[in-house]
Structure formats: C-alpha cells, structure tokens
Structure 1
Amino acid sequence: MATVSRVVNHNHNVKPATEKKVMEVVKRLNYRPNDVARGLASKKTTTVGVIIPNVTNSYFAALARGIDDIAEMYQYNIILTNSDGDEQKEVKALNTLYSKQVDGIIFMGNELSPAVRDEFKAERIPVVLAGSVDPQNDFPNVNIDYRQAVSSQVDQLLNTGNQRVAFVAGRLNRAINQDFRLPGYQAALQSHQVPFDDQLLFEAANYDDGYELCDQLLAHQATAAMVSNDDAAAGIMNGMNDRGVQVPEQFEVATSDNTKITEMTRPTLSTITQPLYDVGAVAMRLLTKLMDNDEIEQRQVLLPFGMKQRGSTKGA
C-alpha cells in the first residue's frame, strides 16, 4: 500500500521497475485515488468552495478566472456554486460546501447578509471576500477603493459641465453602494459645490432596468449618469439613443466595472477600470495563507483602480 501511495502521489522514491509495474496495474484497473478518503486521513481535502452570485456576469467571471489560476498553482481544486445573490441560496450553498469538507471559502456577492455572516463565524474555516465589501471588517477581503473610484469618475462628469448627474445602482441600500459608492458620489458633488439631490438616485440592476430608467432620468432633467454596473449602463445608453437623445452630446454615461460589454457598445462606455483578475488571484493567494496558518499582514487589501475615458463621455 505504501509503495502504491508513493507512485500515485508522484513520490519518486521508488525503483523505476517497481513504479512501472504499479502504473501498469493502475492503468489496467482504471484506478483513481479517493480524494474523500485521502481528506479524511489528512484532514485536508485541498478543495476550496467559491460562491458566485451570477456565473454569466462577466465581472464575476473575471474574478473567478483569477481564483482558479492561483488555485491550480497551489494545487487546490475549486467547487463553484451559483447563488443568484439570494440569501437563502447562499446559506444552502455554504452548507453544501461544508458537507464536502472544503478547506476554505471565497465569497463573491453584492451583500454579506447577517445569515451568511453567522454561518461563516459558526463553521470557523478560512473565508476571504473577493470584490465584496465588509463594513464590519470581520473577514479578509480584496477590493478597490470604491469611494474614491466613484468620486473620480463623477468629478470628470462634473468637469464637462453637468450639473444634474444621476447615481444609478442595483440596490441603493447595499453596503457597497450605501457606505462606499454613494459617499464618493456625494464627495464629488460637494467639491464642485453642486447641491445633492436625492431625486437623482435610481436603481437599475440589469440591461432592461437601465433601458426603462431613461424616461425617469429625462423627467428629472439629468444630463449624465454614474452607473454601478455595466449591463445597466449599456441599457441606459441604448435607451437614450432610441429616445433620440444623443450620447455623449446630450447625455453622458459612465460605468464601473470595465467588463467586455463596455467595448461592445456603440459608443464604447467610459468606465472605472478594476483589476478583476488580480482581485480574484490575490483573494485566492490570501486564502492559501490562511489555510496554511501563515501570518497575514493585511486583512483588507485595496488594489489600484484606473479610469478609461471612451465614447460615452465628452472627456474622451
């Protein structure tokens, strides 16, 4: 048994002739190592659970790619679960991952609900948040400075003469919007001495929402919009064009994630640029350290962001 174990685990402390005999039998029997049994023996499954709110969303897909590449580098397997951003599904996904004895979890989501937070604390296995904020700072997380990023983008919209800049988010009461993006929006207004008007706050979670929102934006005399996700931004831009409102001459649109859709629209979308792959990669590397009980110098990692001015704003 020990010899077979050394061969299948690529321990070369075995005579070549013996290794050849073992591999011939392995091939003939179509033998596969039992990872479950191995995990029970070592108390380590080398498996990481990843919870993602929407596998079809290119923002989260880019994060997942970074996670997967680093996981492969450190010889961890990934179990990917889709939660649809639903609290009950997130809790169910967690329990499924716990039952599979994962060594750690990376959570991607728009909100860290109390129920999910309690599950994390109860199980006590390493957790890292990727692209998800934690105002309470209970868990290590990797993000950009969303407050400063939004402030910088709104500042550019104000610099081109807009006095009525709308702020559009999926849900305004989510922590990432309420505690980070919205204060950034307000800070930019204040620096330009433009009064804050809560009638310019809108919700749009997807393309269709953005398209339908155009009538409200025009009714409130908005001339520009800072949008929290690219799908909704594309909807707003197409909706404006279909209503005879020219972008960017009569209405400017800026967005937040720099996913592929920002380059597919016409005109292309101005956007905050985020190192999405790096956010996922750094989150996975951070998790490997936690799983190995290494010392963590920084629990909250902020990666640099940039600005990409394209055809949907006048500053391009």
Structure 2
Amino acid sequence: MTSIKDVARIAGVSVATVSRVLNDKGYVGQNTREKVEKAIKETSYKPNEVARSLFKKQSNTIGLIVPDIMNPFFTELARAVEDMATKLGYNVILCNSDGDKDKEQAYLDVLKQKYVNGIIVSSNTLTALQVEELNVPVVSIDREISKGLPTIVVENKKGAVMATRFLQNKGCRRIGHIRGSYGVANAEERYEGYKEVVSKEPWFRESFIVNGDFDMQFSIEATAELLSLHPEIDGIFAANDIMAIGAMKAAYRLGRKVPEELAVIGFDGIKLSEVMTPELTTIVQPIYQLGETSTTMLISLMEQQPIEQTYYTMAVELVERKST
C-alpha cells in the first residue's frame, strides 16, 4: 500500500510538502504542487481519512441519530439522508438510540470524538443545552427539540384530523385510537387531532384510546385490549403505520374482518403499507423529501451557506387503500 512517504520520495519533496498539498494548507509553489499531484496520481495514493480528520479536527461525515431503526419510517428516512449526503460528498454514521437518553448521549459523545461536521437527530430527550454544547450544526427531524433550532416536521395534527374524519365519512360510528408514545411530540399532536374530531361525540370515552408505543407488538396487544373493552368499535386510527399493521393483526386473531367489520387507517406512508393484505389506508408523509431537505439544510449550515428557512412543516396527504 502506498504511503505519504512514497509520494514524497517520487515527487522529490518532503512529507510536509505533500501534506500541505493534500490539505490545501500553507504555501506550495505551482511547479512543486504539480510534481506532488503527478506522484499522487501515479501511485493512486489515498490519504488516511482518520488521520486527516484528527489533524483537521473535522471530517466529511455527518451523524444521524434515530430512535428506532426497526421502524421502516426511520429506515426509509436514513436511506434518503445517505443518498443526499453521498451526492454532496459526505458520509453518514447511523446511530440507533432506542429513544433512550443515556444511549443518545453516548452516541453524541462518540460523534464528537469522530469530529463529525454536523448531526441530524430525531429525539424526544435531547435538550437545547446539549445541542449548544455539541459545537456543530444540528438539524432536528420528525419532532421539535427547541425553538430556533433548524427543524423539519409534518402536519401531524392536521393529518390526524383528516384520518379520523375520513373514518367518519366511511360510516364508522365508534372510532378508537392507537396512540404513540407518551411525551413524544408527534404522538401528542396526532392524539390531539383525533380528540378534536371525536371529543364531543356522545359515545366518546378516554377508554377509546390505548397506547401502542409506536411499536407493532405493543399495538397488537393494545388493540386486543381495546376491542375487548369496546367491541362496538368499527374504526381505528393508529398513529403510525406499523401500529396500524399490528391493529389489523389483532383484528384477524379476533375474527374481525378488515375492512368489512373494522376499518383501519395509519400514518406515515411507509412502503410496507402498500404490500399488506389488505393494503393499508394511511396519511402519507413525504419521507424521502424529509431526509433530502434535512441533509441539504445541514450541509448548507456546515458550509456556512445561506439557507432559505430554518423551520419546515411539510404537508401530508391521505391515500385510500383496501383497509377502509
């Protein structure tokens, strides 16, 4: 393997001169620079990126912290971030925090040690102070961390209102809600949207709401509990697609036909929703656009380029399929 010493020997210069050319730092005469560049090309020398990042205290790398990589929403989001980062000349370090604040802090410490240039994070535990202490640009995605921090979210409450009213318009008379994790901003907003539509209905009770914790298995159990307590329910709005899929699984186990006896609608628009049987009606987020926009914004901040805006609320749309 070619080393920087080999390049220096072939070019007839010092290792320090080669380093100055590689890092574009310090004066090097044009004739000498051309000799070094020719030697690099002849030897196919590639610099040690770890050593360069230690020297420069930065790297062409961004961090991405998500709470649950098993959730296809975050898998699809990560793909979009990686695609755009690669296109713009950056690498991505993916971190799965499990929504645990200690694990999240441990990842932040590791990313700082790796001298990442910036971080995209979906977090419900990260504070404004922690962001400030990172000393690198940060973009929050999917949920807001603090005012003033560059953030990209979607119309969570509006989408929930659309979903619940859609079930009403399909003839559902008793609509239950599988909510997301308590304290998570988007879960609360979707819960509020559902409540806005049904709270004044004479049949409504808080017991029509169960916590699926944004998890498929929890949703199966929560739906079984909900339908046992309220067998009259004929429609369910789940706060994300994997919980909606869990709700359909529970309905199948209980012998409830979807959509004939129970209509189900989700939220996210993950690709898995299209291949279910029956296919899932859902509120679609622009997942790929979320990833592209957050990455473009972060890299603009890292490169100290002007950005049009620092807060995006992206539109959602309802896509009707066979589950309703």
Q: TM-score range by the shorter chain?
A: 0.7 to 0.9
In the other structure, the counterpart of 1:186 is 195
CA distance in 2, matches of 1:129, 1:217: 34
Q: Give, in whole Å, the separation in 2 of the partners of 1:184 and 1:222.
A: 18
Take 1:108 and 1:174, find their aligned partners in 2: how far apart are those partners? 11
Write the distance in 1 (CA, Å) between the matches of 2:40 and 2:111: 34
Structure 1 residue aligned with 2:143:
132
Change (3 A) 1:85 1:141: same
Q: 2:40 aligns with which of 22, 26, 41?
A: 22
1:21 deviates by 3.9
Distance 1:95 1:195 in 2: 50
Question: How far apart are 1:215 and its partner, in Å?
Answer: 2.9
Aligned-residue offset at 1:4 = 7.1
TM-superposed CA distance for 1:86, in Å, is: 1.2
Residue 185 of structure 2: which of 155, 175, 189 is its match?
175
Moved over 6 A (4+): 13-18
**Shift in Å, 1:265:** 1.6
| CA distance in structure 2 between the partners assigned to 1:208 and 1:306 by the alignment | 26
Q: Report deviation, 1:287.
A: 0.5
Matched, 1:144 2:151: no
Name the residue aligned to 1:102. 116
1:88 to 1:18, Cα distance in 2 relative to 1, 3 A: closer
Q: How many residues align?
A: 300
Over 3 Å counting, the alpha-carbon distance change for 1:103 and 1:16 in structure 2 is closer
Amino acid at match of 2:166: Q
Which 5+ residue runs of structure 2 have no aligned equivalent?
1-14, 25-29
State the Cα distance separating 1:121 from its structure 2 match.
2.1
Match of 1:54 in 2: 68
Task: Assess if the C-alpha contact under 8 Å between 1:50 and 1:107 holds in 2.
Answer: yes
Say if 2:216 and 2:246, in contact at 8 Å, map to a contact too.
Answer: yes
Task: Provide the TM-score with structure 2 as the length reference.
Answer: 0.83
Per-residue deviation, 1:272:
0.7
Alpha-carbon distance between aligned partners in 2 of 1:18 and 1:175, rounded to the nearest angstrom:
54
The question of whether the paired residues in 1 share the 8 Å contact of 2:179 and 2:191 is answered with: no
2:58 corresponding residue in structure 1:
44
Give the structure 2 partner of residue 253 of structure 1.
264
What is the identity, as a one-letter code, of the residue corresponding to 1:103?
Answer: N
Judged with a 3 Å threshold, the aligned counterparts in structure 2 of structure 1 residues 161 and 42 are, in CA distance, closer, same or farther, namely same
User: RMSD over aligned Cα, in angstroms?
Assistant: 2.6
Residue 242 (structure 2) aligned to one of 231, 234, 237: 231
User: Cα–Cα, structure 1 residues 243 and 278, in superposed 2: closer, same or farther, change >3 Å?
Assistant: same
Q: Where in structure 2 are the equivalents of 1:1-316 lying within 5 Å?
A: 1=15, 2=17, 6=21, 19-24=37-42, 26-27=43-44, 31-109=45-123, 111=124, 113=125, 116-134=127-145, 136-178=146-188, 180-189=189-198, 196-205=204-213, 206-218=215-227, 219-220=229-230, 221-313=232-324
Larger Rg: 2
Which deviates the most, 250-259 or 138-147? 138-147
Residue 137 of structure 1, CA deviation: 2.1
Taking a change above 3 Å as real, the CA distance of residues 8 and 299 of structure 1, as seen in their structure-2 partners, is closer
User: Per the alignment, do residues 104 and 19 of structure 1 end up closer, same or farther by CA in structure 2, a change over 3 Å counting?
Assistant: closer
Contact preservation (8 Å) 1:186, 1:196 = no
| In structure 1, distance between residues paired with 2:314 and 2:131 | 24
Paired AA for residue 23 in structure 1: K
TM-score by length of 1: 0.85
**SS of match in other structure, 1:256:** strand
Alpha-carbon distance in 2 for matches of 1:58, 1:5: 45
Contact 2:142–2:153 (CA under 8 A) maintained in structure 1: yes
Where relative contact order (Cα < 8 A, 6+ residues apart) is larger, the structure is 1
**Secondary structure in structure 1 of the residue aligned to 2:177:** strand
